[in-house]
Amino acid sequence: MKRKVLLLLMLTCSLSVTAQQPAGAEESRNMIEQVCEAAGELASLQCDFRQTKRLSLLQTDMVSAGRMCYKGGRLLRWEYVSPYQYVFVINGDKVMIKSAQKTDVVDVKSSRMFQQIARIMMNSVTGRCLTDTEDFSVTMLKQGGEWLARLVPRQREMARMFAHVLLHIDPQARMVTQVELVEKAGDTTRIEMTNIRKNEPVSEEAFAVE
């Protein structure tokens, strides 16, 4: 269960959400269409990330950092480099989970949980989760100069853990730049993506499943 929690937290991650304004129906459709159009043009994506986990009872922040790369709709590498090393790779129907102690390879087809994790992670990276009505109900919002997508989980496993997920979207780039996960227990996780590079060459070796 601990591993499942960690994988869900990596989905693709509390900030103040004051001054949020709900978008109208037509505006929401336009926002989603723009993000999906940009996702359709995305052959690869590379970035660094900073993850901040806040425990509500302790008021303590746990900060980690890493890098992510995505390619072609079927390949994803999520790698923590500080303060520990941990790698999560999706390569088609295979998922590899690698820590300093061990390496596990899972056939996605053999596990409904991993099927959901793989689909949601891929869709979150590209923004396609905005049209994924099977996993989430979506409300589009505006805050300052950015768009927000508030996702409420529909699937039982996700709904047990998370009250909602908030995606911060750059309207110029039309892509997700930050993710906030708000758990039912009150803990929050924020993942901020920086140094984003789109459609640059990515070696297939980055997605090798050992």
pLDDT tens-digit readout, 152-210: 988 888 888 889 989 999 999 998 999 998 999 889 999 999 999 999 999 999 999 87
Go through the domains of the chain in sequence order and give each one's CATH number: 2-196 (2.50.20.10)
Residue 10 is which amino acid?
Answer: M
Looking at every residue in the chain, the average pLDDT score rounds to 84
pTM of the complete model: 0.83
pLDDT band of residue 5 (cuts 50, 70, 90) is very low
**Cβ distance 86 to 80 under 8 Å?**
yes
Residue 80 is which amino acid?
Answer: Y
Query: What is the pLDDT at residue 16?
Result: 35
Helix, strand, coil distribution of the chain in percent, nearest 5:
25, 45, 30
- State how far the Cα of 87 lies from the Cα of 178, in Å rounded to an integer: 20
